[in-house]
Structure 1
Amino acid sequence: MKNKMPITTKILIAMCLGLLAGSAINAFGHDNGAIREYLVDGLFYVVGASFINALKMLVVPLVSFSLICGVCGIGDIAALGRIGIKAFGLYLLTTGLAIALALLLAVSVGPGRDFERSGEVAEFSAPEAPGLTEVLIGIVPSNPVNAFAEGNMLQIIFFVILFAIAMMMAGEVGLQLLRTAEQLNEVMMKLVMLVMEFAPIGVFCLIAKSFSEQGIGLILPMLGYFSVVIASLFLHTSVTLCLLLWLMTRMNPWEFMKKMRPVHIFAFSTASSNATIPVNLRVVEHDLGVPNSTAAFTIPLGATINMDGTAIMQGVATVFIANVYGIELGLMQYLTVIGMSILASVGTAGVPGVGLIMLAMVFNQVGLPVEGIALILGVDRLLDMLRTVVNVTGDAAVTCIVAKGEHRR
């Protein structure tokens, strides 16, 4: 009997084929109405969007059952608080390191210095950012059913942790519910594998649609900005995160990256940290050896508040727009960008359009024109896919570090 091709290899092949197909459509069939209507906006869109919905369908029940098992598995409320504080602190640390690296690289290279604006920049209306008090109040769900229905991860995490603590306090009744939750968690993991069987088709359609819409002609004028963002993302992942991982866990970074490959492919294809939660949880637990009691808490939390990739984009975009408009930024303004990005990563957690909200907040704080964001929107979709890869890698790295610190790995 021949060995079956691994699902990761199938997805990787599908991603490459999607890239080629999408690029070919953009180059030769971009103006063909039939191709755009029936293939790009028809087949590719329907299959790709359905696949993302299928992944998101798994997130809430999987996180809920897995988190219940994780909290009850810890069995100690003090240990739970310790894990939460460690994870939260590490997520803020990696975000701060990410934007500091991005600013350093962007200031050195200077993207945007020779950029020529043709006419007026397109209007950009920044979404309104919620106040810090609203965010803090919003963590506590007034209606848990509504939180579950809308997929509000911070509210879901808060409610499920309280529910699991109450289960531990309920004695025999709680133990019966825990056994049920463990069985449901096992079923959800099987469902994850079932959805992943269709992943190559979904990934092909997602990548083909993205690259059929994003041609090289759109990237060329923004090549300086595009290159610096990619270089910063690469350095943060391969140097900063891997160095932290090795220093704090002695884990081989090469082995870590190799095992994270399925997560990277899913993150790149979907451009959604939340949609990648089921795959990240499975890899971290089964391949990296992190107990469910730690991973079930830190991975969903990281998908909500850990935004290393977004922070990198903010740092490079700040320098790029400042150079385009000929505005000099001083040391205090750069420090303000770092501080604002760290705070905004938590303050805007779970808010739709979070990347643009955070960037608008940073621009307002340092006196840059918010309408300049319109300049980078054209290439943002491709960069968003890469940013998500960095975000989920940070989630997994912090999870491994926390687990090692708790002697749970």
Structure 2
Amino acid sequence: MSQATRILLALAAGLALGFAAWRWAPDFASSAASVADPIGNLWLNGLRMTIVPLLVALLVTGIAQTAEAARAGAIAGRALAWIIGLMTLSAVVGAFLTPFFLSIAPMPEASAAALRSALTTTSEVGEVPPFADFLRSLVPTNPIAAAASDAILPLIIFTGIFAAAVTRLPVEPRGLLTGFFSALADAMIVVIEWVLKLAPIGVFALAFVVGARSGSAAFGAVVHYILVVSAVGLVMSLLAYPLGVFGGRIPFGRFARTIAPAQALAVSTQSSLACLPIMLKKSEALGVPERTAGMVLPLAVALLRATGPAMNIAVALYVANWFGVEVGPAQYAVAILAAVLTSMGSVSLPGQVSFVTAIAPICLILGVPIEALALLIAVEVLPDIIRTLGNVMMDIAVTVTVSRQTGETVETDEAEEGRLFGADA
């Protein structure tokens, strides 16, 4: 049985037993929840303690890797520009679509109120500071203090500046620093993997508390969350088709038919890296020269998380809506920036690890409790399928677009392409 399955079963069992206690033994439910609550939060704190060091390490190594890619030549530079642009677009899509979907299909107020009461026992919902205070806080006077107080945005800004400075160092000291932060990230991932081995216990405890305090409201809320976040990711995934058609100048039918096997493998493996061989094959079938596909696709697999910013910001905004946090324009802008940076920092991490490291900083920036993430990570299976599917689709679309824009020879069906783009296509 996979770890994801064990966590999902723990969530279901915790909610079911908590609901049963709430329904038929309310006194027992109250006393049992008071015991389960600290157990669940002890496990949650085990995850929280890794967020800051892992975030810093991943940002430094991610920015260094991006800078190295930019030095690799015109094709890599063009691919990198598309990757950064699509990641930014993804975050914007998530920031706009999530409130829209929640406005047309809101979480039932009874469910939201019940879940708030179940999960706000250990942390307070943060208040949005005045805009002037917000601006003053962007540059930390003490990065260590910012890290200690979970001031994530100032910490991200400092880390970004530091990482940019690292990329300007000579080769030897640059390699020394990036090697240190790479090793730090690897060590933190090992710690998270240890903590995740205990996830069934922690998730069961937290789910029991939610079920015991909110009753049946929790079940509908979980389904609602899956549908909203998956819908955001699906919209971003579908943008791969117009990019392939108009950026790569490939007829829609041909593009859709060619990438279908890669889509099927993405759904079955939930791993972009596992799909790399078939993506290379299908990109060449779409006319991308082997040398171009061999450069762009590995770069896209390593750096492009096309659905990541959209779905990560969707999770954070969903939790903000859940807890009634008002998000203003400045906070949206900051959340978009954080979603892009943390998604680029979560390169090649396992899904459950990247879920915490990429979304928790956004939640902390918005001032919402991250306790909800411990429950939502258990139902990440379906959203994670959408994430991988969209990433694979967009990796191929970017590859054919870069190939076309850099003047590489693309073998196409001239008759079909002529019908789509005109006789001079």
CA distance in 1, matches of 2:155, 2:310: 10
- Report 1:246-265 matches (<5 A): 246-248=238-240, 252=263, 255=266, 259=270
CA distance in 2, matches of 1:194, 1:129: 34
Match of 1:102, as an amino acid?
L
Measured at CA, do residues 256 and 244 of structure 1 come closer, stay the same or move farther in structure 2, by a change above 3 Å?
farther
Measured at CA, do residues 304 and 139 of structure 1 come closer, stay the same or move farther in structure 2, by a change above 3 Å?
farther
CA distance in 2, matches of 1:383, 1:56: 11
Query: Normalising by the residue count of structure 2, what TM-score does the alignment of the two structures yield?
Result: 0.56
Count of residue pairs brought into register by the alignment: 303
Is the contact between residue 18 and residue 205 of structure 1 (CA under 8 Å) also seen in structure 2?
yes
Q: State whether structure 2 residue 128 is matched by structure 1 residue 134.
A: no
Structure 1 unaligned residues grouped into runs of 5+: 113-124, 261-287, 319-336, 357-380
Shift of 1:98: 2.2
Match of 1:197, as an amino acid?
K
Q: State whether structure 2 residue 38 is matched by structure 1 residue 51.
A: no
- Percent identity between the aligned chains? 20
Cross-structure match for 1:309: 318
- Report 1:9-408 matches (<5 A): 9-32=5-28, 36-37=30-31, 39-42=32-35, 44-75=36-67, 86-105=86-105, 128-171=127-170, 172-216=172-216, 219=217, 233-248=225-240, 252=263, 255=266, 259=270, 293=303, 307-310=316-319, 343-346=330-333, 354=367, 400=391
Is the contact between residue 99 and residue 311 of structure 1 (CA under 8 Å) also seen in structure 2?
no
Shift of 1:85: 5.8
Q: Secondary structure at the match of 2:141?
A: coil
Match of 1:252, as an amino acid?
Q
Shift of 1:53: 0.2
CA distance in 2, matches of 1:255, 1:382: 28
CA distance in 2, matches of 1:406, 1:23: 47
Match of 1:19, as an amino acid?
L
Measured at CA, do residues 129 and 188 of structure 1 come closer, stay the same or move farther in structure 2, by a change above 3 Å?
closer
Shift of 1:13: 1.9
Shift of 1:197: 1.0
CA distance in 2, matches of 1:169, 1:308: 36
CA deviation vs aligned residue, 1:223-274 (integer Å, no higher than 9, x gap): 9xx97x77864543343421321332767399459739xxxxxxxxxxxxxx
Structure 2 unaligned residues grouped into runs of 5+: 71-76, 111-123, 242-258, 272-297, 336-361, 400-425
Cross-structure match for 1:120: none
